[in-house]
């Protein structure tokens, strides 16, 4: 099974000692060590997580943080899924179709990272691991991290 990590999951992995985030880190480690899942970091998720971490780093007056280091390490450990022209074209279609159906996943004329993530998942026939099941499940197969086990 192919799993794509949403931004909210990446954020938890970048802050491994905060509450439930430790459990998410342990979950990922077990998947890597004991399963045949192919785990992706979609470029849109990396972008959204990275921009938030960079904003925090710049506000604090530091060029780099441990969280940014962790994000870079995850990018080396997992499969990085770059954006491509076909993915962006599919995302544009998903955006237009969801708006036309009266089910937008973002406000106004927003870029809407959810449709880009959905297009990336559709491109590789993958499932998005997210805490935003409500929006994303309209577009693509989704699950919460707790639902994915090495027995799956």
101 band by pLDDT with thresholds 50, 70 and 90 = confident
For the record, the structure tokens of 109 come out as: 């004329």
Asked, for residue 118, whether it belongs to a domain, the answer is no
Asked, for residue 89, whether it belongs to a domain, the answer is no
What is the C-alpha to C-alpha distance for residues 59 and 105, in angstroms, rounded to an integer?
29
> Phi first, then psi: what are they for 129, rounded to 5°?
-90, 120
Region of 62 please: left (phi>0), alpha (psi -120 to 50) or beta.
beta
Whether this model's pTM surpasses 0.85: yes
Asked, for residue 11, whether it belongs to a domain, the answer is yes
Asked, for residue 51, whether it belongs to a domain, the answer is yes
pLDDT in tens, 106-117: 676 666 899 999
Give the pLDDT of residue 150: 81
Size of the chain, expressed as the number of residues it contains:
152
Which range of residues forms the domain containing residue 23?
2-82+126-147
55 against 152, higher pLDDT: 55
pLDDT at position 81 over 80: yes
Domain count of the chain?
1
> Phi first, then psi: what are they for 79, rounded to 5°?
-85, 120
Asked, for residue 99, whether it belongs to a domain, the answer is no
100 band by pLDDT with thresholds 50, 70 and 90 = confident
Give the pLDDT of residue 38: 95
Asked, for residue 136, whether it belongs to a domain, the answer is yes
pLDDT at position 1 over 70: yes
Asked, for residue 22, whether it belongs to a domain, the answer is yes
What is the C-alpha to C-alpha distance for residues 13 and 23, in angstroms, rounded to an integer?
9
Task: Give the burial class of 91: count Cβ atoms within 10 A of its Cβ; 0-12 exposed, 13-18 middle, 19 or more buried.
Answer: buried
Find the radius of gyration of the CA atoms of the chain: 15
For the record, the structure tokens of 42 come out as: 């979609």
76 band by pLDDT with thresholds 50, 70 and 90 = very high
Give the pLDDT of residue 20: 85
Give the pLDDT of residue 140: 95
Domain with residue 65: its CATH number is 3.40.50.1010
What is the C-alpha to C-alpha distance for residues 67 and 53, in angstroms, rounded to an integer?
7
73 against 19, higher pLDDT: 73
Asked, for residue 88, whether it belongs to a domain, the answer is no
Give the pLDDT of residue 45: 97
């Amino acid at each position: 099974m192919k799993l794509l990590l949403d931004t909210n999951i990446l954020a938890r992995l970048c802050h491994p000692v905060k509450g439930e985030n430790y459990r998410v880190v342990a979950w990922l480690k077990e998947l890597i060590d004991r399963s045949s899942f192919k785990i992706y970091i979609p470029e849109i998720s990396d972008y959204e997580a990275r921009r938030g971490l960079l904003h925090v780093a710049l506000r604090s007056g530091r060029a780099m943080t441990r969280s940014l280091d962790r994000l870079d390490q995850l990018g080396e450990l997992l499969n990085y899924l770059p954006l491509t022209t076909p993915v962006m074209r599919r995302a544009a279609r998903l955006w237009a179709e969801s708006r036309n159906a009266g089910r937008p996943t973002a406000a106004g004329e927003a870029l809407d990272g959810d449709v880009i993530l959905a297009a990336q998942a559709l491109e590789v026939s993958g499932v998005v691991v997210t805490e935003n099941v409500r929006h994303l499940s309209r577009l693509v197969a989704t699950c919460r991290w707790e639902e994915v086990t090495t027995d799956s």
